[in-house]
Amino acid sequence: MERLSGLDASFLYLETSSQVMNVATILQLDPSTVPGGYSFAAMRAEMARRVTALPSLRRKLADSLTNVDHPVWIEDDDFRIERHVHRIAVPSPGRVEELAQACSHLIGQVLDRKKPLWDIWILEGMADGKIALMLRMHHACVDGATVADLLGELATATPEPPELDPERVATTAGAASRRDLAVGGAVNFFLQRPVAALKLVPKTVPVPFEWFRRVRSGQGMPAPFLAPHTRFNAPLSSRRSIALTQLPIADVKRVKDHFGVKMNDIVLALAGGALREYLQAHNELPDAPLVGLVPVSVRGAEEKDLVESGTNKVNGMFTRLPSNVADPLERIRVAREYASLSKAHFHEIDDNILRSFAEFAPGNSMGAIMRLYGDRRVAALHPPVFNAIISNVAGPSSEMYMLGGRVESVYPLAPIFHGLGLNMTVFSAGTELNVGLLTCTDLASDISAMARAFHDQLALLLDAVDRGETLDVSEG
């Protein structure tokens, strides 16, 4: 067995019927490359074969009343591929818009915790004979980087089925008896956690004081609960809206290279501009800059205080967004400046603090509090922690095939929270920058307009490049 880290388990505790902790990837595939021709049965059979060499897809949760610590992963000895790979039809005419509509319903459905926490939906009936594939996984299993890693394992450089690694086939999460759960949990909870807490307190005490000092001087990350209010900062219902789009990486890199900035600066400028365009169209644009939470992978950071490293090795960096800047070129400079200030502050904070505190997350209590928080619509009663989650994940630059089908697009989606109802995730793959937007339908039923705004913002920047305009980023 393998015990979940506190951060991994927190995503279980945070989940309610209206705050679903699913991470998803939607892929559009050309099925003409599938060896022997496409059929749902053949694709499911190939996935069943591949799962035998993917231990993370064969494990499920285990817990007991005598366990005072977080749940554990164990091997699912009754694993059946029919419980995990399904198919539905995309509404006619089968465009990306209809694909997003079908997947909006799926992303809001809670995964069955009695089985391994993932499934695949194959969506047939796409235009031009294409198919789509939606992989859903619980956030307790993956973060942005591990999703990219998993796609790298599932995807291949050629359509032919790969050979399986015998060592990975033989790898198992094992079993867990009630005694193992109880004793191991008690040792962690009553012995190791108090020691970790004693080490954690001295590291934590200076953090809020330094943060407050930086906020007053304007030289760091914006503080939580000081973001301006938008329609996305409200309680959620169970309904979801998805918007999907692609930007040519060549065009984005052309802008990046011309102005001498980083890809992440361009992504933040595009996101800030798209938010500005969307909110301005609804006469809801705040005067103050919006605040984004940018997930940051901390893989490779030393594990000093944690007993379990866990799957989610991620932290979050707050940064202002250039949503209040009218000029598109100035938005790049301001986005770069804001991000630089936030990074300098962020790197002074121990990478392990968030995950260390998550180890103390009280499962039953945290779940009850979150249900009360959602049911009583408490998110409407306090200022926003921040306005949107913005992720930028690097994927493979080469052509890839998924279960034999050539991949034409890879759209990422990540969870939203009560009071934080907009997630904007960007995933580079091949020649495209894939953008996935997720919100609650009751907050914004026209999120596709924000996806179109990404194209508008890129077009403005390309026009500036064509005119030969320059940008001084020496102070950023």
Residues 310, 356, single domain; the answer is yes
Per the domain annotation, does 193 fall within a domain?
no
The pLDDT tens digits for 11-44 are 999 999 999 999 999 999 999 999 999 999 999 9
387 in a structural domain? yes
Consecutive H or E run containing 127: none
pLDDT cut 90: percent of the chain above it: 79
Q: Which residues are catalytic?
A: 139
**pLDDT tens digit sequence for 252-277:** 999 999 999 999 999 999 999 999 99
Residues 161 and 273 in one domain: no
Regarding whether 175 and 217 lie in a shared domain, the answer is no
Q: Which string of b and e fits 97-131 if b means at least 16 CB within 10 Å? A: ebbbebbbebbbeebeeebbbbbbbbbbbbeeebb
pLDDT at 352 over 90: no
Strands of 55-182, DSSP E: 59-62, 72-75, 85-89, 118-124, 131-138, 155-156
Q: Taking the mean position of all CA atoms in its chain, how far away is CA 373? A: 22
Q: Is the pLDDT of residue 409 over 50?
A: yes
State the sign of the Cα–Cα–Cα–Cα dihedral 53, 55, 56, 62.
positive
In a domain, 472, yes or no: no
Domain at 223, CATH number: 3.30.559.30
Distance of CA 64 to the CA centre of its chain: 29
CA 345/CA 351 separation, integer angstroms? 12
Q: Which residue has the tokens 């329609």?
A: 231
Question: Is there a single domain that holds both residue 172 and residue 237?
Answer: no
Structural domains of the chain, count? 2
Tokens representing 468 are 């030969």
Domain match, 128 and 248 both: no
pLDDT in tens, 41-61: 999 999 999 999 999 999 999
Report the CATH number at residue 77: 3.30.559.10
Does residue 197 lie in a domain region?
no
Summarize pLDDT for 195-254 with one digit per residue, the tens.
Answer: 888 888 888 888 988 998 888 888 889 999 999 999 999 999 999 999 999 999 999 999
Considering the domain architecture, whether residues 175 and 226 belong to the same structural domain is answered as no
Residues 159 and 232 in one domain: no
CA–CA separation, 95 and 109 (whole Å) = 23
Q: Are residues 223 and 304 both part of a single domain?
A: yes
Q: What residues contact 450, with CB distance under 8 A and at least 6 apart?
A: 243, 274, 275, 277, 278, 437, 444
Q: Is residue 262 part of a domain?
A: yes
Q: Are 291 and 217 found together in one domain? A: yes
One-letter amino acid at 342 equals S
With a cut of 80, say whether residue 9 has pLDDT above it: yes
Examine the domain organization and report whether 350 and 220 are in the same domain. yes
User: What is the identity of the amino acid at 382?
Assistant: H
Mark whether 130 and 241 lie in a shared domain. no
DSSP output for 36-87: T---HHHHHHHHHHHHTT-GGGSEEEE--TT--S--EEEE-TT--GGGTEEE
Length of the chain (residues)? 476
- The answer to whether residue 122 sits within a structural domain is yes
pLDDT at 474: 67
Q: 237 near 440, Cβ under 8 Å?
A: yes
Specify if 187 maps to a domain: no
Domain that holds residue 84: 2-179
For the residues 138-148, what does the mean pLDDT come to?
Answer: 86
Task: Please name the residues in contact with 472: beta carbons below 8 A apart, sequence gap of 6 or more.
Answer: 333
pLDDT of residue 309: 54
Q: CB 226: neighbour CB atoms within 10 A? A: 14
Mean pLDDT of 374-402: 93
The model's pTM is 0.94
Domain end position, chosen among 179, 195, 218: 179
Q: Are 369 and 379 in contact (CB under 8 A)?
A: no
Is the pLDDT at 408 greater than 50? The verdict is yes
**CA-CA-CA-CA torsion sign (355, 357, 360, 362):** negative
* Whether residue 133 is found in the same domain as residue 210: no
Sequence-ordered alpha helix ranges (H) in 309-409: 328-346, 353-358, 363-375
Q: Would you say 408 and 244 are in contact if contact means Cβ atoms under 8 Å apart?
A: no
Could you read off the pLDDT of 311-321 as tens digits, one per residue? 777 788 999 99
Cα separations in angstroms, 43 against 55, 122, 242, 280: 19, 9, 26, 45
Task: Tell me whether residue 184 is in a domain.
Answer: no
